[in-house]
Amino acid sequence: MRFDVLTIFPELFAPHLTHGVTRRAFESRQVDVRLWPLRDFADDNYRRVDDRTYGGGPGMVMLAEPLEKALTAVKADRGEAAPVVIHFTPTGARIDQARVQDLAAGQGAILLCGRYEGIDQRVLDRHVTLELSLGDFVLSGGELPALALLDAVARLQEGVLGDAKSHEQDSFSDGLLDCPHYSRPEVLADGRGVPPVLLSGHHADIRRWRREQSLALTAARRPDLIAAARAAGRLSKADESFLAKL
């Protein structure tokens, strides 16, 4: 799959693409990331990509013409009909694991990273097919959400994680939050130990303990996810019995 990133700060992406376990996806081109510096499409000698907003007010707005030229170039280079164009904005739909899984199974997208007060609305109206947000807060630009999305998509690609099943127990993969995890030493210096069930060797007991921990954590912190899992029929009788005792 291919992601084309339109940004005025392409240098922000280089460290992410070459470090960590997800670099396997980027280096192998399983997730082919191509950076398009927006200033390369500016007309004037100053490579200007922003100007004052019509109607007055603080801040600058990203100009339509450099963005139009960049999008035309990207679409021509991709050579495919109607690629998905994603714009990162606080007004967009919140990125969740279901959305990431859909994108991870697709052909990629064009990622439009805004800055300043935003992008000329005429560009958004003409080109954008999906608006996404990390949450109910404001960032300085779309680069951080783009990086988060690329990371989330990359780790779902085959062969990227050391254990092919690692992502299957991630938070949200089954609609719930993940359970706690423990590693060596078995007992810390202050006496805190690993839950005995994890040392028992009884795989059925361990699976059930992990499921109940996941249920308890989700019920305490994200009861909306419990309601959604119940509505989707993802809770077993054992799950419901456990939840009733909380």
Quote the CA–CA distance of 52 and 204 in Å, as a whole number.
63
Average pLDDT over every residue of 139-152: 96
Quote the CA–CA distance of 183 and 171 in Å, as a whole number.
19
Burial of 26 (0-12, 13-18, 19+ CB in 10 A): buried
Average pLDDT over every residue of 14-19: 92
**Phi and psi at residue 45, to the nearest 5°:** -70, -20
Compute, in degrees rounded to 10, the torsion defined by CA atoms 23, 178, 109, 142: -80
Quote the CA–CA distance of 234 and 26 in Å, as a whole number.
34
pLDDT bin (cut points 50, 70, 90) of residue 205 is: very high
% of residues, the chain, pLDDT over 90: 83
pLDDT bin (cut points 50, 70, 90) of residue 86 is: very high
- Which residues touch 175 (CB under 8 Å, ≥6 apart)? 225, 228, 229, 232, 234
* pLDDT of the residue at 173: 60
Residue 82 has pLDDT above 50, yes or no: yes
pLDDT tens sequence across 208-221: 999 999 999 999 99
Mean pLDDT computed over every residue of the chain: 91
Catalytically active residues are: 90, 117, 155, 170
Q: What is the DSSP letter of 119?
A: B
pLDDT tens sequence across 172-200: 567 899 899 999 999 999 999 999 999 99
Nearest residue to 90 via CA among 144, 35, 43: 144
% of residues, the chain, pLDDT over 70: 95
* pLDDT of the residue at 162: 58
- Cβ proximity of 141 and 119 under 8 Å: no
Residue 167 has pLDDT above 50, yes or no: no
DSSP labels, 57-111: -SSEEE-HHHHHHHHHHHHHHHT-SS--EEEEEEEEEEP-HHHHHHHHTS-EEEE
Residue 161 has pLDDT above 60, yes or no: yes
